[in-house]
């Protein structure tokens, strides 16, 4: 299944799925930095957790576009391979778990190896070549991070609730509930 015309979401999904299919060394060369939006990060404890978690949030949406494309083309088995990858991605522990969410864990954690294997299988099922990004993703361009920022970092914006009770503080979105 080779898509004729790719939407931005499908192209991003392909790049993200390709990123996840790479071996750990290649993934590490494509990893970047981001702010502490998803968890408190320390270079010694869980360096890279926010970047990796940001990629996973972006992947849930963008790689779903690949699943939808496969379903639209009547490729149920191919869509199932993509769905299996996405389910495994959602099963990962919370971003505070440094045994998974860190650059140091990327080459050694069994969870990442399973994701790499499933990503390669999904690409093969979709008949797509590996098409990794040329440079690190910029997380705040992929994910609406405002809802993850701590209250100290959040800049209040006037909203409908300001008229009655004043501006309300944001709360972190629930990953399990699918909100962002």
**Residue 43: per-residue pLDDT:** 87
Predicted confidence band at 37 (pLDDT cuts at 50, 70, 90)? Answer: confident
The percent of residues in the chain predicted with pLDDT above 70, rounded, is: 78
**Residue 97: per-residue pLDDT:** 93
**In the structure encoding, which two tokens stand for residue 27, read together?**
């993934």
**Residue 156: per-residue pLDDT:** 31
Residue 102 has a CB neighbour count (10 Å cut-off) of 21
Q: CA nearest 156: which of 145, 164, 144, 166?
A: 166
Model-level pTM? Answer: 0.77
| Interatomic CA distance for residues 41 and 50, integer angstroms | 7
Q: Is the distance from CB of 148 to CB of 173 less than 8 angstroms?
A: yes
Tell me which of 90 and 174 has the higher pLDDT: 90
């Amino acid at each position: 299944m080779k898509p004729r015309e790719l939407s931005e979401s499908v192209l991003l999904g392909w790049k993200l799925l390709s990123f996840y299919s790479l071996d750990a060394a290649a993934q590490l060369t494509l990893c970047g930095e981001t702010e502490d939006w998803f968890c408190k990060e320390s270079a010694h404890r869980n360096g890279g957790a926010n970047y990796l978690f940001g990629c996973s949030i972006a992947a849930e949406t963008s790689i779903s576009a690949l699943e939808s494309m496969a379903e639209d083309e009547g490729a149920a088995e191919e869509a199932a391979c993509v769905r299996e990858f996405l389910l495994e991605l959602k099963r990962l522990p919370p971003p505070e778990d440094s045994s998974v969410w860190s650059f140091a864990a990327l080459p050694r954690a069994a969870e990442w190896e399973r994701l790499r294997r499933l990503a390669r299988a999904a690409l093969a099922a979709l008949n797509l070549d590996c098409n990794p990004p040329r440079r690190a993703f910029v997380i705040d361009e992929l994910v609406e991070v405002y809802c993850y920022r701590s209250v100290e970092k959040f800049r209040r914006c006037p909203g409908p609730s300001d008229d009655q009770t004043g501006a309300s503080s944001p709360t972190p979105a629930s990953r399990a509930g699918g909100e962002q």
